[in-house]
Structure 1
């Protein structure tokens, strides 16, 4: 099944693996836990934004852009991958980075910041609370005055075009689980800027597969997160020419695992990161996937999921930001301000 007739680039020439986590399942004595390894997607160090950028970059190229402009926090996975896509397409890239945590940008830092410099980004750093859309428009106007053709990508690549990448992911999941003979009882995914969650929902609706998708919010309260996801999912379904059929209960975003706020690690997330590393050799990050796994484990403890259920965890990547978080993972246990968005 095709997700759309829209043009797309091909940054991942394979289906990302879908794996059973036997050791992790045994350690939790819970349901059967599977993982969709979108951390192994294409572009520099992979992640969920790669799927979004396949459609977004195709649109930029069709519009004749020569410069990509986008934004995120100082250790932004999205910025890293948008920059990598721009490099691959022979385009320039300008990043507007928000210090969500004060003094979190250091030019000599590890993680995504190191990769920005290696890949050759033009970087503007702004303080927390800055209107990022306005800052990107300023950067775009600067490009225009120099005779260039800018293309602005929203935070997280979260628009209808970006969401189409996760319609395709939903189709992959259906094919892979059918081949494995596995019937999923639920999918658990990060709810941040919203398009990953929304695209999965839309893809399952299009495919007439009523698998519950539970979003674990990493930044917003449930009401706001659900509103963003619903709006994007409806826009994606309209793009796909699929009748809007999202019930009131279709969109679920839990805010119980945000902790003290975005990019501030929780003890439960750090415990999950360590447990998965020691049982499966798979790395999560403290901003996104660690909190999402803490949400999955919390739901198991609350008996929302039962032994024998088949639960799929979407690994959205974030490996480079792990290397910018050493002090909280193996050091002092306190945040060093290395955030990602």
Structure 2
């Protein structure tokens, strides 16, 4: 795989750290838990979408865009970071917000919604859950064009093959870091949502013949359709990266036991996981993605999914600004 030939912007200086979590490891009585701190990536408050946007924004600039259009949920980390990248590049940004949970949008809400306004979003349109989002973004793009602008549409999560290259790059970064640290990474756990992070990691590890398995904790979709989507995306990403072989279907593992009643809806396991990471390691997670992913990591460890002496790397994909929009959920009484 050869990424250097693909245009890329850089929004983060150097690599994000890999840290050992001794208190969580002791709490679980093994395995050894490490964390990849992609919450420390560049742009406003960081998070995994920053890696994807490095490739996507380079393409937007190459095409002469002056307005970025994207979509996401009410407290979308992706929308926050896409808007931030647009600001960094001197571009305008319009957001199509999908109200996946009925009546969940509040213009005065804190969290990412506050940051949309602070960062100066040019237009924010809210649509009901289930709306054809690509058609909605195309309509916004047509308006930009009619006004004499040059729009560029970024799909939800920046989870297309170009965006997923960000996590091919992350896989390569992890391999280099683990070599320097003399750390044998036996398993990687990440959130599995729009799919770019999960698919990119699998493509990157497989393309570099690392043999490292990746388990994705679904935050929305059922196991079978999510794995099928990831397989298609990972292979499209691999081809773009210049890989010589396809990723087999067996390389994808999705656990859908921690979604709860639905996307962004709280679960007791999520609340417990957020409190555990905060109170044992001083690390902030978010209720929508990393909280449920951490719940999956903890649950799987307690079930013996990982050998007790293995080294498990948790990918922290960011999202902590959303904490401030869900105070009741993250401070609820929970056992864990």
Aligned runs of 1:192-231 on 2, under 5 Å? 192-231=193-232
Alpha-carbon offset, residue 2 of structure 1: 4.5
Distance 2:237 2:198 in 1: 11
Distance 1:132 1:68 in 2: 15
- Equivalent residue, structure 2, for 1:338: none
Q: Output the TM-score relative to the length of structure 2.
A: 0.97
- Secondary structure, counterpart of 1:229 in structure 2: helix
Alpha-carbon offset, residue 243 of structure 1: 2.4
Distance 2:331 2:216 in 1: 28
- Secondary structure, counterpart of 1:96 in structure 2: strand
Aligned runs of 1:172-187 on 2, under 5 Å? 172-187=173-188
- Equivalent residue, structure 1, for 2:73: 73
Is the CA contact 2:2–2:242 (under 8 Å) kept in the aligned structure 1? no
Alpha-carbon offset, residue 244 of structure 1: 2.8
- Secondary structure, counterpart of 2:124 in structure 1: strand
Alpha-carbon offset, residue 35 of structure 1: 0.3
- Equivalent residue, structure 1, for 2:327: 326
Distance 1:310 1:202 in 2: 21
Aligned runs of 1:88-237 on 2, under 5 Å? 88-121=88-121, 122-237=123-238
Distance 1:78 1:68 in 2: 13
- Equivalent residue, structure 2, for 1:27: 27
Is the CA contact 2:271–2:332 (under 8 Å) kept in the aligned structure 1? no
Aligned runs of 1:257-296 on 2, under 5 Å? 257-296=258-297
Is the CA contact 2:207–2:245 (under 8 Å) kept in the aligned structure 1? no
Tell which deviates more after alignment, 297-306 or 168-177. 297-306
- Secondary structure, counterpart of 2:15 in structure 1: coil
Is the CA contact 1:218–1:257 (under 8 Å) kept in the aligned structure 2? yes
Aligned runs of 1:38-57 on 2, under 5 Å? 38-57=38-57
Distance 1:57 1:248 in 2: 30
Distance 1:5 1:233 in 2: 19
Aligned-residue CA RMSD (Å): 1.3
Is the CA contact 2:28–2:302 (under 8 Å) kept in the aligned structure 1? no
- Equivalent residue, structure 1, for 2:245: 244
- Equivalent residue, structure 2, for 1:339: none
Q: Output the TM-score relative to the length of structure 1.
A: 0.95
**1:18 and 2:7 equivalent?**
no
- Secondary structure, counterpart of 1:163 in structure 2: helix
- Secondary structure, counterpart of 2:266 in structure 1: coil
- Secondary structure, counterpart of 1:249 in structure 2: helix
Alpha-carbon offset, residue 155 of structure 1: 0.6
Query: What do the CA deviations read for 1:124-143 (whole angstroms, capped 9, x no partner)?
Result: 11111211111101100000
Gap change, CA 1:188 and 1:331, over 3 Å in 2: closer
Is the CA contact 2:2–2:241 (under 8 Å) kept in the aligned structure 1? no
Is the CA contact 2:16–2:41 (under 8 Å) kept in the aligned structure 1? yes
Tell which deviates more after alignment, 295-304 or 308-317. 295-304
- Equivalent residue, structure 2, for 1:61: 61
Distance 2:58 2:236 in 1: 19
Tell which deviates more after alignment, 159-168 or 126-135. 126-135
Alpha-carbon offset, residue 207 of structure 1: 1.3
Alpha-carbon offset, residue 176 of structure 1: 1.0
The unaligned stretches of length 5 or more in structure 1 are 334-341
Is the CA contact 1:4–1:240 (under 8 Å) kept in the aligned structure 2? no
